[in-house]
Amino acid sequence: MYRYGDGSPFPLDENFIETLTTAVESCTNAFVPLTELDARRAKAKEMRREGDAESGRLSELEKTLNAALGPHLTPSPKPSLTQQVAQKIAASAKQTIVDTKKQIDQRVQALEAQAAPKTSSDAVVKALGPFFNEHQLPKAAWIMSWDVRGTEPHADAVATAGKITAAFSLSPEPYRQPIRVDQLAEGVVVHMMRKGVFGKAKPAPVDLGKYVMVAFERTGIDHTVTLKENPNKTAAGLRFAVSESGATWVSISASGDSEGEPNDLDPDDVAPVRTLAERAAAALKDLITRRTLVDLSLSGTAIGDLEDPRNVPLELLAQLTPLARSIREKSRMSGELVLKRDIGDGRREELFVPRATLAMQFARLPNEYRRPFEDMGITAEETQPSITLPIRPPAPPTSTPPFPPAKPEVFDTKTMEYTDEDERQKTQVDPKKQ
């Protein structure tokens, strides 16, 4: 169990210090190509402005030339040499101006293409890969699928948290072949309607132990298990959909298409099929730990199609901000983010990261990209601990009389020592009495 620095329970069962550290590094790396995109956009915008101004000047030049050549361009049955020269000059100038405008527009379009949002989307996905490959956002919901029916086995997953959807490819190892049902669960028998030689269809027991699982999908707590009678690709099979409320089955063809509508399983058969689905999920759960980020989407729009891809890392940081700020508020050590973990035997392990270490990551970014990190409360300035001891009140006055004032000291030239005034006087006076 994880706890805040003040000992109160932390809502997630994970080392959020590592999650936060990786998020800061990944988002910083994602903002670097976005900063370069901003520079290309500014350059393209300035080039567009200059191109429009230059095209306007060329249009004015064309008007000026036409006005100057106008008197010599009057049509006549037999144009003079001057008229012929004027016509050639006008035609040549017009064509040159048209070609020049076209060249200007082509250069502007080339810069605008380089400033398109999709030019940085791949770099952003690559930069955020280390975070999504190793960590997940709070309250992420997962969908995982595994299929060995094709020429090559494949597995993939999708994680959705708020507006962000991350798509992954998974390594299918070591499950590259169909898995026998009896290796996952024993005694899985279901009753299905089977038509006999004579009479109507009747429920008949079907032992699924010799079937093989060729595909599996998990969506939250719902599972879909696809079985075939044998590993042969031409074999028919069954597909079971298991939900919290029950289970259904449907026959599938060799190509994997459903044959008819799903049928409700007999209530007595739901439990063994549910056990099979849960055992399959347990066997394949580690596939998600070997994932590779493929694409990111924001509110259903792929990052390559977003007008502003910076919104993806901004949304990622926004989802982590509430927990980051609460960790800061409940960390007792100044300048640190602290979590504690119960490790048994009455002991706790402390996990921490100096905020200055995190701030060094994004210090190189422009101000507009540093602001979301600062909003998380991970800036480098020192702060007082969130828990402080009360100020001790002043001590009450006592009745003990104060010490008498110290007596002044004088230097005795005879003894060459300092002594107080009373002793000196005594030394000087007593010899006369004797």
Cα–Cα distance measured from residue 172 to residue 165, given in angstroms and rounded to the nearest whole number: 22
Query: What pLDDT, on a 0 to 100 scale, did the predictor assign at position 200?
Result: 66
With 80 as the cut, is the pLDDT of residue 397 above it? Answer: no
Per-residue pLDDT band at 379 (split at 50, 70, 90): confident
Angle at alpha carbon of residue 322, lines to 318 and 323, rounded to 5°: 115
Query: What pLDDT, on a 0 to 100 scale, did the predictor assign at position 425?
Result: 47
Per-residue pLDDT band at 405 (split at 50, 70, 90): low
Cβ–Cβ under 8 Å, residues 260 and 251: yes
> What is the SS3 assignment for 192?
strand
Cβ–Cβ under 8 Å, residues 28 and 362: yes
Cα–Cα distance measured from residue 238 to residue 249, given in angstroms and rounded to the nearest whole number: 7
Cβ–Cβ under 8 Å, residues 283 and 184: yes
Cα–Cα distance measured from residue 263 to residue 194, given in angstroms and rounded to the nearest whole number: 13
By C-alpha distance, which of 106, 24, 13 is closest to 355? 24
With 90 as the cut, is the pLDDT of residue 92 above it? Answer: yes
Phi, psi of 408 (to 5 degrees): -70, 145
pLDDT tens digit sequence for 415-434: 555 555 554 444 444 444 44
Query: What pLDDT, on a 0 to 100 scale, did the predictor assign at position 165?
Result: 97
By C-alpha distance, which of 409, 370, 182 is closest to 275? 182
Instruction: Share the mean pLDDT of the chain.
Output: 87
Q: State how far Cα 100 lies from the chain centre.
A: 47
Higher-pLDDT residue of 260, 398: 260
Cα–Cα distance measured from residue 394 to residue 60, given in angstroms and rounded to the nearest whole number: 87
Cα–Cα distance measured from residue 398 to residue 84, given in angstroms and rounded to the nearest whole number: 121
By C-alpha distance, which of 174, 166, 214 is closest to 156? 166
Strand partners, 297: 165, 302
By C-alpha distance, which of 313, 378, 259 is closest to 125? 313
With 70 as the cut, is the pLDDT of residue 199 above it? Answer: no
CB atoms near residue 214 (< 10 Å): 24
With 90 as the cut, is the pLDDT of residue 138 above it? Answer: yes
- The answer to pTM > 0.85 is no
Cβ–Cβ under 8 Å, residues 193 and 261: no
Look at 26-35, 81-90, 185-194, 345-354 and tell me which has the smallest mean pLDDT.
185-194
CB atoms near residue 252 (< 10 Å): 21
By C-alpha distance, which of 164, 110, 102 is closest to 132? 164
Query: What pLDDT, on a 0 to 100 scale, did the predictor assign at position 433?
Result: 45
Sheet bearing 336-344, strands edge to edge: 2-4, 336-344, 347-354
For the chain, percent of residues with pLDDT exceeding 70:
85
With 80 as the cut, is the pLDDT of residue 137 above it? Answer: yes
Residues 6+ apart with CB under 8 A from 129: 26, 292, 293
Per-residue pLDDT band at 236 (split at 50, 70, 90): confident
The first and second tokens of residue 272, run together, are: 């063994």
pLDDT tens digit sequence for 140-153: 999 999 999 888 99
Please report, for the chain, the start and end positions of each structural domain, with discontinuous segments joined by +.
Answer: 31-121, 179-286
Query: What pLDDT, on a 0 to 100 scale, did the predictor assign at position 43?
Result: 95
pLDDT tens digit sequence for 295-352: 999 999 999 999 999 999 999 999 999 999 999 999 988 899 999 999 888 888 999 9
With 70 as the cut, is the pLDDT of residue 124 above it? Answer: yes
By C-alpha distance, which of 67, 65, 63 is closest to 89? 65
Cβ–Cβ under 8 Å, residues 272 and 188: yes
